[in-house]
A and B are shown apart, each in its own frame.
Chain A
Amino acid sequence: MTSTPLPLRVLWNAFYWTYERATWQYDVMVVSILAFVWLTPPDWLKDPMASGSGPIGWLLDVLK
């Protein structure tokens, strides 16, 4: 894996997860998951229990 380009190595390490809890890699993963859960507009996922465009949708509306 050492000759592999960095982005591919990062993707592989995210997929083939060998890090312990309470490491910076774990923190990055947790923040990414929380960002997906909280920022993705429920409408995009067709959430049966939530609606609205969420923070991303609001930002896109502002930028329009």
Chain B
Amino acid sequence: MTFTGLIGRICMFPLRLIINLCVRLKIHPNTLTFIGVLINVAAAWALALGKFVTAGVIMTIANIFDFIDGKVAHESQAVSAFGGFWDSVIDRFSDISLFIGLIFLYSDLRRTDYVMVTALAMMFTIMTSYTRARAESIIKKCKVGFMERPERIVLFMIGAFTNRMAAVMWVILVLSIFTVADRIILTYRELRETHEAIA
């Protein structure tokens, strides 16, 4: 077993209890998704105030909701096309709100350099999901690149809890640029292969 696989298994134990509780209480997965974004907005507020540890705690709670909504939908047989769409849209709001919180903080500190780093990280984060969504309308699957949402969320929490948000912003920016590039390359290759196969 890998190191990250072991951490995943350990975290899954308390999450399984919460998932079972939500299924038993018949909480609709779309409600969980919406609660998640509201809590993330509170985390963004804490980031904007420079209260990183508080933001980290709030983000942890918000991300529990983010993580379990799909599993609850699956276990309560409430999986729907709209649920998937709703989840994706709400996830983008959650992502963007955290970045806006940081942009507010850095602009309040008159740090234009980090306003730019965070704004660019936000841009490539949005492009990461857009490139995949757009690519999968023309090719079968476009799941390449390291910096996806779970990685981003964990990095945000690490940055908040250990007060290393600047380093985290650089990592998210660089790896999101790579991820967008990977998705463009994969889509180009797949389409070229399809075109060659037809010709």
Contact = CB atoms under 8 A, between A and B. Distances in A.
Interface of A: 15-18, 21-24, 26-27, 29-31, 33-34, 36-38, 40, 42, 45-50
Given A30-B3, A30-B4, A38-B162, 8 more contacts: A17-B145, A17-B146, A22-B5, A27-B2, A37-B155, A45-B166, A45-B167, A50-B165
A15 B164 contact: no
Interface string B25-51: 000000000000000000000000010
B43 to A, nearest CB: 16
A49 B52 contact: yes
Contacts, number: 80
Interface in B162-199: 162-168, 170-171, 175, 178-179, 181-182, 185
Interface of B: 1-5, 8, 50, 52, 105-106, 109, 111, 113-114, 144-146, 150, 155, 158-159, 162-168, 170-171, 175, 178-179, 181-182, 185
Contact of B2 (A23, A36, A37): A23
A41 to B, nearest CB: 10
